[in-house]
Amino acid sequence: MTGWRDTGRTLGRTVAGLTLGTATAVLTVPLAPFLLHAGPARAMAKVERRRLLTFLDADIPPADQDRDRDRNRRRAAAHLLARVPIGLLGGVILGLCAAGAVTAVRVAVGWWITGRNLDRIPPSPVIIVYFALAGAVLAFLAGQGLAGVVAAERRLAARFLGPDRLEAYRRRVAELAASRAEVVAAVDDERRRIERDLHDGVQQRLVALGLLIGRARRAGDPDRARDLLLQAHDESRRALEDLRETSWRVFPSALDSEGLAAALEAVAERAPFPVDVEVALDAPGRPPREVETAAYFVVCEAVTNAAKHAGASRVTVRVAGDGRILVVRIIDDGTGGAEPSGGGLHGLARRAAALDGTFTVVSPPGGPTEITAELPCG
């Protein structure tokens, strides 16, 4: 039911967006002489951008308004004029859809009330099948036509309202430079964390172990020496556990040898609460190593945050991939209020950005918290 409702809403928004597009296309024709001025062109381009974002889910990044305002004005005017035939085409298709729907209703009502349609043709099984097939074919063609108009609207807006090729290259270079700097910072942070874990954990255990062995060597009483050696043995075992824990947090061997699903199962086993893990990879083979690593650390950090800060009692992890993109979604039933700018989550966002992926956090007060990472595999 929810899927049909979402489909109906999307269709309604698309029809509304194309209807408004037809109206603006008709309005553009008498206003064409005024579009060479900055004010009208910019105002109508802003309306078009809002229409595309609200109704057609086309988020066009704006061009740099400070770089070349006159050129941006000309591009906005060119977009408004170039989309006139596309807007009119959308209106014609919508009109044909409305006419077809009215005709279908009239035929159905005529058969239901009088037993004949407008041409006084009785509703025989052959006629009903003929009308049904013809209506289905016409509806399919109309749907394809509307989809084509929407695609043309998006491409045209990206061509004229978005950044040009040179500006897009500049932005891409800036993004790559920022991403590289963030990756270097993330690596430095990880090194500091490893050093802190070794200093506060393993190193302290080894110091205590050395002290116990030294006391055992100096002990004159054999029973006392044996007790100290037993304590030293326990301390060595705890040091080994700390070392294994630290190395597992740096990079789990299971991720290389057995794959992402096995590594995430290990995360679930170490968690202090139930963690449901579901991994569905449709494509044959494994995702790239760097993608698996990023997905693994996203899950680790999310589970750790849920345990330390959210007071969660259960976490659900879903990983899905089709060979082109790997989607990692983690949902906990904690108190919510997670800050995406926090140290751990911000580090995961930087890790995802380094792979040209996206990282989103939805955590309203009171929960639940949903973390989603989309990581390209190509």
Contacts of 160 (CB under 8 A, 6+ apart): 75, 76, 78, 79, 82
**In terms of domains, do 221 and 279 share one?**
no
Lowest mean pLDDT among 187-196, 218-227, 257-266: 187-196
Would residue 115 be called left, alpha or beta, if left means φ above 0 and alpha means ψ between -120 and 50 degrees?
left
CA distance 30 to 11: 30
Average pLDDT of the residues of the chain: 79
| Domain boundary, last residue among 139, 163, 187 | 163
Q: Across residues 283-301, what is the average pLDDT? A: 83
Residue 74 to residue 35: CA distance in whole angstroms: 9
pTM: 0.54
325-332 sheet: strands from edge to edge = 275-281, 315-321, 325-332, 369-376, 358-362
Q: In terms of domains, do 6 and 75 share one?
A: yes
Residue 214 CA, distance from chain mean position = 57
Given 3-state DSSP classes, what are the helix, strand and coil percentages for the chain, each rounded to the nearest 5? 70, 10, 20
Give the residue ranges of DSSP H helices in 56-124.
69-82, 84-113
- Domain edge (last residue) among 208, 230, 250: 250
What is the rounded distance in angstroms from the CA atom of residue 60 to the CA atom of residue 52? 8
What are the CA-CA distances from residue 143 to residues 139, 146, 169, 230 (Å)? 6, 5, 35, 78
- 289 shares its domain with 366: yes
Among residues 201, 216, 250, the one where a domain terminates is 250
Query: Are the C-beta atoms of residues 345 and 311 closer than 8 Å to each other?
Result: no
Alpha carbon 155 to its chain's center: 22
The pLDDT tens digits for 199-257 are 777 777 788 878 878 887 777 777 788 887 788 888 788 777 777 666 666 666 777 77
pLDDT, position 244: 67
Using DSSP, state whether 371 is helix, strand or coil.
strand
Whether residue 212 sits in one domain with residue 77:
no
Please give the structure tokens belonging to residue 170.
């500049």
Verify that 230 and 277 share a domain, yes or no: no
Overall number of domains in the chain: 3
Cα separation, 187 vs 272, in Å, equals: 27
* Number of residues assigned to the chain: 378
Please tell me whether residues 283 and 237 are part of one structural domain. Answer: no
Residue numbers of the domain that contains 193: 167-250
Give yes or no: residues 57 and 126 share one domain: yes
42-96, pLDDT tens digit by residue?
777 788 888 888 888 777 776 665 556 677 777 778 888 888 899 899 899 999 8
Nearest CA-CA partner of 150 in 93, 68, 67: 93
- Report, as an integer, the average pLDDT of 296-325: 85
